[in-house]
Amino acid sequence: MFNVGGGEIIVILLLALLVLGPEKLPATAKKVGRFLHEVRRMTSGFEQEVRKAMDFENLGTDLGDSTTAAASSDDAVHRATDGPRLSAPTSPIATSAASAGTSAGTPPGTPPPAPGPAPFVADLSAPRHLDDQA
């Protein structure tokens, strides 16, 4: 787990004996053992939850079910849109209304309006200072 060899364990135990002393060492070792046991239990529980969430056997069937549902809804959309199509209006009222929308308020024979002034384009190529006045 921690990739610690026998020599390193002996050095750690000797340092713990020197730091904690012989009275506190057994109680501390017991606490460390309980802590490591709790960590292992939590990690194994986490691994089990991940394996449940990543259940690959049910993944294939769930994917198959969703693709068939998507295909059936796609077919329903195609069937609904393949009905009779409406063509563009050809009645004289509709064509006059369409032409009135484009030329509303201008009498026949009036030339189109002249283009307006050119839009303002700022010259950003030269840097300006706050002290400069235009």
Query: Has residue 58 been placed in a domain?
Result: yes
Residue 94 lies in a domain: no
Domain annotation covers residue 118: no
The conformation of residue 28, written as its DSSP 8-state character, comes to H
Distance CA 54, CA 72 (A): 27
43/52 Cα distance (integer angstroms): 14
pLDDT < 70: residue spans in the chain: 1-2, 56-67, 74-80, 82-106, 122-124, 126-134
Please check whether residue 31 lies inside any domain of the structure.
Answer: yes
- Number of structural domains (the chain) is 1
Rounded distance, CA 130 to CA 10, Å?
Answer: 74
Judge whether 35 lies within some domain: yes
Residue type, 14: L
Domain for residue 75, yes or no?
yes
Give the tens place of pLDDT for each residue, 74-113. 666 666 676 555 555 555 555 555 555 555 566 777 887 7
How much is the pTM? 0.35
Whether residue 67 lies inside any domain: the answer is: yes
In a domain, 39, yes or no: yes
Distances in Å between the Cα of 63 and the Cα atoms of 68, 69, 127 are 9, 10, 60
